[in-house]
Structures are given as structure tokens and as C-alpha cells.
């Protein structure tokens, strides 16, 4: 019977491994998850890598250590298999900044536009879109739209602005933002650079323009992680959610990683949604078979079309 309690002293790592075999489950984890959750995952990745892993899995269940839109994407790609999210409240401020009814009106006000939506949005917003993108393929997806065709880009205006700069394409931007990435402070990064003149600044494109201007390298979480390994630099100021430091340190023993702070130095570089998932909640969701993230058949079929276009365009 499902209970909210866990026996004291239970070896959660061993129990999760046992349940994983019993359920023939795959555990997918985003880089922004706490280290323990990254360590139990079969696949750790950015939003694109996790969507690709969900698309190719043969498992009988997916345990998604990430946020709701990621689990929902896995459910869209895998009708008929349960997608478990350890905490159903693990949402996303960026996805919340774009409610589907308002987005539908926005699209209607811009007829003839190709609608590109960042994967950080609800299934209902995906269903209104022509193509989905992530931070690692946004530039490529925008360039796939024939020159001269007008584009709506939603919901992240920071990523949209960055891609406009990279591609020279004029796009209509939905005014959404990630509450974690827009709190990084330009002033604090300038201060850190002065304290560590040898350090390179690496930043996620969800950050504001004035912060990105200070960056030596900009990219998705996977791209930032790769850069720390290929760059000869020994010290990095990391301007994204601090969960990524776990893999950066593992891949680069001996290099130094300094998490960028916000203006008041709080731990706002931790996504409060991502961090709702814990090892105990992962164990409980596998033990109880819930909470499950599901999408109605009608919505799933419509949301899958732009997702499949993205997956097709992202093949190497």
C-alpha cells in the first residue's frame, strides 16, 4: 500500500536499483538535479539529450528526474508506458510564463508566422507550435525556416534575443523568462572576474543580454560541460544552475568551478523546481508507481508533430 513514509535506515540506492530491475525502468536525469539523482541515472543530459533518450527507450517505465515539461515530453513520445515524476510540483517558471490560451491569441495576432517553441513549455503550447527547439539546437532550428518567412519564438525572450543575434533573423518574441537565469547579476560577475582574472565566464543563453555580454562561451548545459573539458583554462565562472557543477568537477578533476551568484548572493542559482526531486521521492515514486505524468491522446498527437520535427532536424 502507498504510504508517504520510508523505513528509517533503508538503503535508498539499493532499493532504487532493485525497483529499476523489477520494473525494467530507465532513469533519466537533467544536469540541474542534485548530485545523488545524477549518480543513479542511466542517462544524464540536457533537455535535447533527454528527449532523444526518451524517444529511443525500450524500457517499460521512465523515471524522470527533471521537471514537469520534460516528463510530459517523454510521455508524448512514449504512449502506453508510465512516466514517473518524483514530485508533481516540479514545474518551470518559463513554461508557466506562457499559458496556452494567451499564446493562441498571440499566434492569431501574427498570421503567417512559423511558430518555434522552446521545449520549456506545456504540451498545450507545443500543440500550437510548428517546431520545438532546445537551447542546444535553437540556432539550427531557426536556420531551418526559409529566409524571409516570419517567425514567432516562444516562450524564452532571452534565448530568442540570443538566437536573433546569432542568425540575423528577425523574430517576434513571447515575453517569457526563466526566473533562475534572469537573477544572475552583471555586477557580481564583473566582481568575480576581477577577483579571478584567469577565469573564463561560461553562461546559459537563458541569461539576460548584459550577462551574456560578459561570457567567454555561451551554450546549453551540455555545450558548457563540453567546453570545460576541451578548454585549456583551469578556472570557470559558471553562470547557470549550479547542479551542472557536479558533472563539471567529475569530468575535470583539478579544475576550479565558481558558481555565479545573484545580486544578493542568495542560493538563487538553484532551480527551486528541479530541486524538489529527492532520492527519497525517487524511491517512493518507483515503489508506489505514482505520480505519473500523462497527456490526453488528442493533445499528445498534436504536440508530437513539432517534437518529431525537432528530433528529425537534430540528427547529426
Q: How far is the CB of 14 from ligand SF4 (least distance, A)?
A: 29
Question: Under the criterion CB under 6 A, does residue 277 sit at the interface with ligand 13P?
Answer: no
Binders of ligand 13P in range 32-71 (CB under 6 A): 46-47
Of 135 and 183, nearer to ligand 13P (C-beta) is 135
> What is the layout of strands, in order, in the sheet containing 61-65?
43-45, 25-30, 61-65, 83-84
Strands (E), the chain: 25-30, 43-45, 61-65, 83-84, 114-118, 131-133, 151-154, 171-173, 200-203, 217-218, 235-239, 256-259
Angle between helices 47-56 and 297-313 (to 10 degrees): 110
The least distance separating ligand 13P from the CB of residue 298, rounded to whole angstroms, comes to 26
Which 94-113 positions form the footprint of ligand SF4 (CB under 6 A)?
Answer: 94
Judged by CB under 6 A, the residue of 33, 38, 73, 93 near ligand SF4 is: 93
Expressed in angstroms, the distance from the first to the final Cα of the chain is 46
Residue with smaller CB distance to ligand 13P, 19 or 268: 268
Cell of 77: 513520445
Does 122 contact ligand 13P by CB under 6 A? no
Answer whether 120's CB lies under 8 Å from 221's CB: no
123, three cell numbers: 504540451
Chain position carrying cell 497527456: 295
Q: By rule CB under 6 A, what count of residues binds ligand 13P?
A: 10
Asked if 67 and 31 count as a contact pair (C-beta separation under 8 A), the reply is: no
Q: What is the sign of the dihedral through the CA atoms of 245, 246, 251 and 254?
A: positive
Per-residue interface string for the shown chain with ligand 13P, residues 155-194, x marking contact by CB under 6 A: -----------------------x----------------
Nearer to ligand SF4, 78 or 179 (CB): 179
To ligand SF4, the closest distance from the beta carbon of 92 in angstroms equals 3
x/- string (CB under 6 A) for ligand 13P, residues 192-231? Answer: --------------x-------------xx----------
Instruction: Please give the residue ranges that form the binding site for ligand 13P (CB under 6 A).
Output: 46-47, 120, 134-136, 178, 206, 220-221
Amino acid at each position: 500500500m502507498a504510504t508517504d513514509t520510508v523505513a528509517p535506515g533503508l538503503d535508498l540506492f539499493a532499493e532504487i536499483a532493485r525497483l529499476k530491475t523489477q520494473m525494467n525502468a530507465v532513469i533519466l536525469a537533467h544536469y540541474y538535479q542534485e548530485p545523488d539523482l545524477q549518480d543513479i541515472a542511466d542517462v544524464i543530459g540536457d533537455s535535447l539529450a533527454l528527449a532523444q533518450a526518451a524517444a529511443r527507450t525500450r524500457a517499460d517505465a521512465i523515471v524522470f528526474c527533471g521537471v514537469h515539461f520534460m516528463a510530459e515530453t517523454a510521455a508524448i513520445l512514449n504512449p502506453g508506458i508510465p512516466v514517473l515524476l518524483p514530485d508533481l510540483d516540479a514545474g518551470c517558471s518559463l513554461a508557466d510564463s506562457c499559458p496556452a490560451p494567451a499564446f493562441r491569441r498571440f499566434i492569431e495576432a501574427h498570421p503567417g508566422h512559423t511558430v518555434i517553441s522552446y521545449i520549456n513549455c506545456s504540451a498545450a503550447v507545443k500543440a500550437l507550435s510548428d517546431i520545438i527547439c532546445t537551447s542546444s539546437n535553437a540556432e539550427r532550428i531557426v536556420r531551418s525556416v526559409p529566409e524571409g518567412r516570419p517567425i514567432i519564438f516562444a516562450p524564452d525572450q532571452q534565448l530568442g534575443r540570443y538566437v536573433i543575434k546569432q542568425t540575423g533573423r528577425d523574430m517576434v518574441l513571447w515575453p517569457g523568462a526563466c526566473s533562475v537565469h534572469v537573477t544572475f547579476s552583471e555586477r557580481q560577475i564583473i566582481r568575480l572576474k576581477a577577483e579571478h582574472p584567469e577565469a573564463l565566464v561560461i553562461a546559459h543563453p537563458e541569461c539576460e543580454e548584459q550577462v551574456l555580454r560578459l561570457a567567454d562561451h555561451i551554450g546549453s548545459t551540455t555545450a558548457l560541460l563540453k567546453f570545460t573539458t576541451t578548454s585549456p583554462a583551469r578556472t570557470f565562472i559558471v553562470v547557470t544552475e549550479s547542479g551542472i557543477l557536479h558533472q563539471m568537477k567529475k569530468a575535470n578533476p583539478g579544475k576550479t568551478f565558481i558558481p555565479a551568484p545573484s545580486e544578493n548572493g542568495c542560493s538563487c542559482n538553484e532551480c527551486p523546481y528541479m530541486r524538489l526531486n529527492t532520492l527519497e521521492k525517487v524511491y517512493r515514486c518507483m515503489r508506489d508507481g505514482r505520480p505519473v505524468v500523462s497527456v490526453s491522446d488528442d493533445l499528445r498527437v498534436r504536440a508530437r508533430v513539432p517534437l518529431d520535427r525537432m528530433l528529425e532536424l537534430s540528427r547529426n
